[in-house]
Amino acid sequence: MFSSTGSIQLARVFGIRIGASPSWFFVLFILIYGLSGYFSNVLPDASNATAYGLAVLAAVLFFVSLVLHELGHALVARRSGIGIAGIDLWFFGGIAKMTRDTSSPGEELRVAAAGPAVTLLIVALCVAVGVLTSGAHHFFDSAILSNRPTTAALALLGWLALINGVLFLFNMIPAYPLDGGRIARAVAWQVTGDRNRGTRFSARLGQLFSWLLIGIGLFELFTSDAINGLYLIFLGWFLGQGARGAVVTSRFSDRLDGVTVADLMDAQPVWIPGELSVSEAQDEFFHRYRWPWFPVADGTTGRFLGLLEQERVDGAVEAGQPALEVGDVVEPGRAEDDVSVRGDTPIEALLSSEGLRTRGALMVVDADDRLCGVITIEQLRRAVAAAAH
């Protein structure tokens, strides 16, 4: 759903970094505290330690289900050629950070629907196991948190089914930036043939929904549940900010319509021939220009080979391999890793480029992967600034 910064790495799954912000640990603590009381009620014969242990397990499994939800988005996006910078958990859930936006309504629909599909599968699995092992009546008693005495396994399955069911229904609300809003965006994009009109349609729904959440939160704050009211107010505010940002971005995109990377790029980038030795690259490029990395291309065909960082060059020289060719140590450059971009790419597609933000530049290649230019973040900023006036 939302972006976060300063996350702590928890794991890597399918090569994708899984991180968590400090706010996630606060939510984890609150969830465990609340669940330990619930499990003590429905397991009257269990010790406090057992109830607490079950609460920890339930909280961990819930956050595992959030990661699986985001992995659904991430893996489908990656199959579509979209790079994934990582998955972060934070106060309001999780986010799969894509290196670029989707390029078609169908791609948008597939990526947006993948997460809810995983969540729905988790709900179905919990329901199937619970009904088969304990019967429908006992399982649904646990799933609605009836506080009737039950077993530890059934209490855990019922709660997981309920919380993931709520997550599924909430995410399917057609309000951007929720998954349902992205699905609505894909439909509107397909109908109108205009990505920006589709974005504004779903973002306006997102703004309306955010105001509704804030209104409900204010009502609860002053009438019944202050904590839940504050949570809904903050959630509505963050949703509204995300929707508003989408509207602003779509307006910029309208003004940038028709402008491509080739219109802004520097057509004469400094690059290193792949046949050059690492010692020559060190002397002629890194010591001369003092840049942390350079693009590398085949000296004969001009085919882009990737980016060469100074650490790789220095490491090869220090290892006693100064004659090693640059092409043998370069990090391969692939579009899905947000290293390069085609010249005919609309400039608006770079607004969400993680590679452009982190490295400050993207290499521009043609249809045959030949290096033909470089576009920098400063060039993009100037274009956006011009569009804003």
pLDDT tens digits for range 115-147: 999 999 999 999 999 999 888 888 888 888 888
Residue 228 shares a structural domain with residue 338: no
Write down the pTM of the prediction: 0.72
Residues listed for the chain: 389
Residue 25 shares a structural domain with residue 137: yes
Residue 66 shares a structural domain with residue 189: no
Rounded average pLDDT over 302-319: 90
Which alpha helices (H) appear in 150-281, and where do they start and end?
A: 152-171, 179-192, 195-223, 226-255, 261-264, 278-281
Residue 236 shares a structural domain with residue 309: no
pLDDT bin (cut points 50, 70, 90) of residue 170 is: very high
| Cα gap 27→4, rounded to integer Å | 15
Does residue 4 surpass a pLDDT of 60? no
Residue 32 shares a structural domain with residue 99: yes
pLDDT tens digits for range 366-384: 988 899 999 998 888 888 7
Please report, for the domain that includes residue 283, its CATH number.
Answer: 3.10.580.10
Q: Of 237, 255, 273, which residue constitutes the final position of a domain? A: 255
Q: How many structural domains is the chain composed of? A: 3
Q: Of 150, 172, 194, which residue constitutes the final position of a domain? A: 172
pLDDT score recorded for residue 389: 61
Q: Of 210, 226, 255, which residue constitutes the final position of a domain? A: 255
pLDDT tens digits for range 226-281: 888 888 898 899 889 988 888 887 877 777 777 889 898 999 999 999 999 999 99
Residue 39 shares a structural domain with residue 152: yes
Q: Are 65 and 122 in contact (CB under 8 A)?
A: yes
Average pLDDT over all residues of the chain: 88
| Cα gap 317→118, rounded to integer Å | 48
Q: Are 40 and 46 in contact (CB under 8 A)?
A: yes
Residue 224 shares a structural domain with residue 275: no
Residue 132 shares a structural domain with residue 7: yes
What values do phi and psi take at 361, rounded to 5? Answer: -160, 155
pLDDT score recorded for residue 1: 37
Residue 246 shares a structural domain with residue 283: no
Residue 228 shares a structural domain with residue 210: yes
Rounded average pLDDT over 36-57: 90
> Minimum mean pLDDT among 57-66, 164-173, 345-354: which range?
345-354
Residue 73 shares a structural domain with residue 119: yes
Does residue 3 surpass a pLDDT of 50? no
Residue 248 shares a structural domain with residue 144: no
Q: At what angle do helices 226-255 and 377-387 cross, to 10 degrees?
A: 90
| Cα gap 171→205, rounded to integer Å | 13
Nearest to 139 by CA among 111, 160, 158: 158
Rounded average pLDDT over 324-328: 89
Q: Starting at the edge strand that comes first in sequence, how are the strands of the sheet with 371-376 ordered?
A: 340-342, 361-365, 371-376
Q: Which domain holds residue 345?
A: 261-387
Q: Are strands 340-342 and 361-365 parallel, antiparallel or unpaired?
A: parallel
